[in-house]
Amino acid sequence: MKRNLFFILLFCVAIIGCKKDKELLYSSQDNIYLNYPKKDTLKFSFALFPSLQQDTLWIPVIISGKRVSRDRKFQLSVVADSTTALATINYEPLKPFYIMPADSGTTHVPVIIKSTDTALYNKSVRLTIRVSGGTDFGSGLVESIRTKQIVFSNQLEEPSWWSFWEGEGEFGDYTRTKYQLFLISSGTTTLGTPGPGDFNSIPEGLFYIGNFTAFLSDPFGWVSQNPQKGYVLTATNDGTGDYYFYSTSNPTKKILLEYLPQSATYVFIDENGNPVVLH
């Protein structure tokens, strides 16, 4: 009899313990954070996409808690003391609130950044954003998972593969304009750098360089043959015979195509005032 009472007592304690655990599981308020595991900063360069005047970054937001059968509001705001980007100039101002859809545990918020500020050709700007609870969520999670930095510019940094092809006598000295024109015309954003005894990527590299060379030799023909690219050549109308080369979707970013009367040829001019040539 005593033995039976002992097992009954253990069963009751177990039931009470399970009920208490279940209550604790749902006792805290739902929170919200930015779903970027192991990534503190997002980096973006408009120089890789010269036809863009702006781009939309979709920021993943996730809840810590329960899904519910109604829309809920939360906030995404700019952290002013760690932001150098300028509202309306470098990015579209954020909305007063955003929606976590009913029955959802995650959503994506659009953050629109812009490339039209000419200062971005020479520097990067930082936009720091932080998600908070708004009217329907708590803000109790640590700031490190609710905050992210977006660093962006319109700069082209010299790629690691450039020095290899420069050494092969193909590219010559690096300039941002030369790299920009390569990206537009070649059909690739990178070239391989084969190691000792590995020459498999050289034919492919020479193919892309050939595309670039043909473009530099006849930019008018390239524009005519590639209307889908959206680039045009427009006369400067200053009596020089020069042209501006640019994307119709981003006409503020122009590259000068200079006419050389002594040879009756055209050559692009880089940011240093020098002709863009290959060696």
Asked if 109 and 148 sit in the same domain, the reply is yes
Asked if 62 and 149 sit in the same domain, the reply is yes
Mean pLDDT of 97-112: 95
- Mean confidence (pLDDT) of the chain: 85
The CATH number of the domain where 44 resides is what? 2.60.40.1740
Strand pairing of 106-114 and 231-235? Answer: unpaired
Cα–Cα distances in Å, from 163 out to 159, 201, 231, 262?
A: 8, 15, 28, 33
**Last residue within a domain, chosen from 153, 175, 208:** 153
Asked if 232 and 169 sit in the same domain, the reply is yes
Where is pLDDT greater, at 199 or 212?
Answer: 212
Residue 207 lies in a domain: yes
Mean pLDDT of 44-49: 86
Asked if 147 and 60 sit in the same domain, the reply is yes
Which domain does 35 fall in, by range? 31-153
pTM for this entry: 0.67
C-alpha span between 73 and 21 (Å, rounded): 29
Give 143-188 pLDDT, tens digit per residue: 989 999 999 999 888 887 887 776 655 678 889 999 999 999 988 8
Give 247-258 pLDDT, tens digit per residue: 998 888 899 999
Strand pairing of 106-114 and 98-100? Answer: unpaired
Mean pLDDT of 98-126: 93
Give 209-236 pLDDT, tens digit per residue: 889 999 999 999 999 999 999 999 999 9
Give 11-33 pLDDT, tens digit per residue: 555 555 555 444 445 457 899 99
Mean pLDDT of 44-62: 90
Q: How many domains does the chain have?
A: 2
Give 238-248 pLDDT, tens digit per residue: 999 999 999 99
